[in-house]
Amino acid sequence: MTIFEIIEKALNEHTLVSITLSGIRDKNHHYNRIDIRPIVIGDFYMLQFVKNIDNKDIHENLKADIGYDLIRDLLENSFRNFNVVTTDKHIHGLVSKKKKITFKMMEWDKQINLNLSHNRKKEYIIPDNKPCLFLYHLGVMDAKGKVYKSKYDKFRQINKFLEIMDHVVTSEAIGDCIRIVDFGCGKAYLTFAVYYYFKEVLGKNVFIMGLDLKEDVVDFCNTTTATLGYDNLTFRREDIRNYSTKDPVDMVLTLHACDTATDAALVKAIKWQAKYILSVPCCQHEMFDKIRNKAMQPMLDQGLIKERLSSLVTDTLRVLFLQKEGYDVSTLEFISMEHTPKNLMLRGVKKNNDRISSTRQYNDFKKFWNLKTVFIEEFYDREMKNDES
Ligand SMILES: C[S@@+](CC[C@H](N)C(=O)[O-])C[C@H]1O[C@@H](n2cnc3c(N)ncnc32)[C@H](O)[C@@H]1O
Domains of the chain: 3-107 (no CATH), 133-388 (3.40.50.150)
Residue 244 amino acid letter: S
What confidence tier does 121 reach under pLDDT thresholds 50, 70, 90?
A: low
Confidence band of 271 (pLDDT split at 50, 70, 90): very high
Tens digits of residue pLDDT in 51-78:
877 767 788 888 899 999 999 999 998 9
pLDDT digits (tens, 9 = 90+) for 235-255: 999 999 999 999 999 999 999
Residues 6 or more apart from 356 whose CB is under 8 A from it?
none
How far, in Å, from the CA of 157 to the mean position of ligand 1? 16
Confidence of residue 334 (pLDDT cuts 50, 70, 90): confident
Asked whether the predicted pLDDT for residue 84 surpasses 70, the reply is: yes
| Residue 202 near residue 173 (C-beta atoms within 8 A) | no
How many residues appear in the chain? 389
Q: 11 vs 2, 62, 178, 328, CA distance in Å? A: 14, 13, 42, 34
Mean pLDDT confidence for 205-216? 97
Looking at residue 172, its pLDDT comes to: 66
Write the DSSP symbol of residue 122: P
For 97-116, write each residue's pLDDT tens digit.
888 999 988 887 666 666 55
How far does residue 259's CA lie from ligand 1's centre (Å)? Answer: 10
CA–CA separation, 91 and 87 (whole Å): 11
Give residue 171's pLDDT: 65
Q: End-to-end CA distance of the chain, in Å? A: 73
Pocket test for ligand 1, best of 241, 256, 267 (most atoms within 8 A of CB): 256
DSSP string, 315-380: HHHHHHHHHHTTEEEEEEE-S-TTT-S--EEEEEEE-----HHHHHHHHHHHHHTT----HHHHHH
Ligand 1, atom 25, residue with closest C-alpha:
213
Contact 336, 42 (CB under 8 A): yes
- Residues near ligand 1 with C-beta < 6 Å? 184-186, 189-190, 211-214, 239-241, 255-258, 261
* Percent with pLDDT over 90 in the chain: 63
Q: At what angle do helices 356-368 and 303-324 cross, to 10 degrees?
A: 160
Q: What is the DSSP string of 27-77?
A: TT---SEEEEEEEEETTEEEEEEEEEETTEEEEEEEEHHHHHHHHHHHHHH
pLDDT of residue 31: 76
Instruction: Specify whether the CB–CB gap between 243 and 202 falls below 8 A.
Output: no
* Mean residue pLDDT across the chain: 89
Q: Which of 258, 263, 339 to mutate to test the pocket of ligand 1 (most atoms within 8 A of CB)?
A: 258
| pLDDT for 113 | 65
Compute the distance from residue 184 Cα to the ligand 1 centre, in Å: 3
For ligand 1, atom 9, the nearest C-alpha belongs to 186
Rounded to the nearest whole angstrom, what is the distance from the C-alpha of residue 222 to the centroid of ligand 1? 16
Distance 178 CA to ligand 1 centre (A): 22
CB atoms within 10 A of CB 229: 8
The rounded Å distance from CA 239 to ligand 1 centre is: 10
Given a cut of 80, is residue 363 above it in pLDDT?
A: yes
The pLDDT of residue 350 is 93
C-alpha to C-alpha distance for 313 and 304, rounded to whole angstroms: 14
- Opening angle at CA 329, ends 326 and 331, nearest 5: 165
d(CA 205, CA 231): 10
What is the reported pTM? 0.73
Report the pLDDT value the prediction gives residue 109, as an integer from 0 to 100.
62
Distance 258 CA to ligand 1 centre (A): 6
Reported confidence tier of residue 88, pLDDT bands at 50, 70, 90: confident
Longest dimension (CA), the chain: 73
Ligand 1 atom closest to Cα of residue 212? 22
Q: Which of 185, 220, 266 to mutate to test the pocket of ligand 1 (most atoms within 8 A of CB)?
A: 185
Centre of ligand 1 to C-alpha 201, Å, is 26
Instruction: Reduce the DSSP state of residue 22 to 3 states and report it.
Output: strand
pLDDT band, residue 170 (cuts 50/70/90): confident
Q: Are 314 and 42 in contact (CB under 8 A)?
A: no
Mean pLDDT of all residues in 157-170: 86
pLDDT for the residue numbered 107: 80
Which ligand 1 atom is at minimum distance from the Cα of 240? 20
> Of the candidates 121, 122, 151, 149, which has an alpha carbon nearest to the alpha carbon of residue 135?
151
